[in-house]
Structure 1
Amino acid sequence: MHEDNPAGPDRLPGPRTVVLSIPADREQVVLARSVAGHIAARLGLSVAELTDLRLAVDEACGLFLLSPGFGVSGELLECRFEEQSAALAVTVSAPAATSVEPDVDDIGWIMLSALVDELTWKAEHGVATLTLVKHLTVRSS
């Protein structure tokens, strides 16, 4: 484990990645929201930013679980939280038909776009991936 923390006391030491695999079940999404909230708090995000991130993770998981063509019960939904130099990237992925694409005019996609700084979609090799990026703001003490 790396002991230096050049980012400061409120930041995790070095780049960190947390991977959470949960059953493709709406009742399990609370785990992904909880992890998002914990990581956001550790990174020093404001309460409003933390709330936005939790809601964005919930919407992203819901996109997979409630839309036809995505993972079904018995399969796993993976949430990857990765601290980058000045951002937190959250990647949600699940088995899906490669032809499946989100409806960018849907209220869920519009909400996701408003809650995060970057939003990208990719579907290949039978897996759909949605990446949310939240830029980290540096707060002075």
Structure 2
Amino acid sequence: MAELIVLADKDYLALARTSAMQVATLLDLPLPEVADLRLAVDEACTSFLVAAPGRRIEPAEVTGAKLRLCYDRYPDRLEVVVRSEAPPMWPAQYEIGWEVLRAAVGQVRADVVDGIGILTLVMPLPN
């Protein structure tokens, strides 16, 4: 449905949030669900930008790391896949951010393949 690729940097989170709001609006989601998707996308992207305690993440200007967001619509759900280089000890599934993701969209999956983190958000769509 849509794809956005930006530098993995906090200065680009506004573009990620805006893309989520635009997709939700195109799907005619109710305002609370638009806000939930925006929050979930922000939290998902932020998870790639936050280092584990005692660890450091090199800036995107140095590494060239990118955040890639893909929005795919299915008859019963919207899937948002966020990919980027996985920080050390990613994902932090026992922190508050993970609970925010679950509460906002329902289903969340995280995988790491060859150093790339893949975070999938699944939001049910109204009939």
Q: Give the whole-Å Cα distance in 2 for the aligned partners of 1:70 and 1:118.
A: 27
Cα 1:44/1:23, change in 2 over 3 Å: same
- Which digits, 9 at most, give the CA deviation of each residue in 1:69-116, with x for residues without a partner? 76741311101111112111001110126x733222201111111111
Asked if 1:88 corresponds to 2:78, the answer is: yes
Could you say which residue in structure 2 is the equivalent of 1:40? 24
Q: Any unmatched runs of 5+ in structure 1?
A: 1-16
Cα 1:130/1:114, change in 2 over 3 Å: same
Could you say which residue in structure 2 is the equivalent of 1:12? none
Could you say which residue in structure 1 is the equivalent of 2:2? 18
Q: Any unmatched runs of 5+ in structure 2?
A: none
Per the normalisation by structure 2, the TM-score is 0.87
Cα 1:124/1:71, change in 2 over 3 Å: farther
CA RMSD of the aligned region, Å? Answer: 1.7
- State the secondary structure of the residue aligned to 1:111: helix
The AA in structure 1 aligned to 2:29 is: L
Q: Give the whole-Å Cα distance in 2 for the aligned partners of 1:119 and 1:95.
A: 18
- State the secondary structure of the residue aligned to 1:20: strand
Q: Give the whole-Å Cα distance in 2 for the aligned partners of 1:106 and 1:82.
A: 27
Asked if 1:59 corresponds to 2:43, the answer is: yes
Higher RCO by CA contacts (8 Å cutoff, separation 6 or greater) = 2
Q: Give the whole-Å Cα distance in 2 for the aligned partners of 1:133 and 1:67.
A: 25
Asked if 1:134 corresponds to 2:114, the answer is: no
- State the secondary structure of the residue aligned to 2:34: helix
Aligned residue pairs total 121
Asked if 1:123 corresponds to 2:112, the answer is: yes
The AA in structure 2 aligned to 1:100 is: M
8 A contact 2:48–2:85 mirrored in 1: no
The AA in structure 1 aligned to 2:79 is: A
Q: Give the whole-Å Cα distance in 2 for the aligned partners of 1:78 and 1:132.
A: 13
What percentage of residue pairs aligned between the two structures are identical?
A: 35
Q: Give the whole-Å Cα distance in 2 for the aligned partners of 1:82 and 1:27.
A: 25
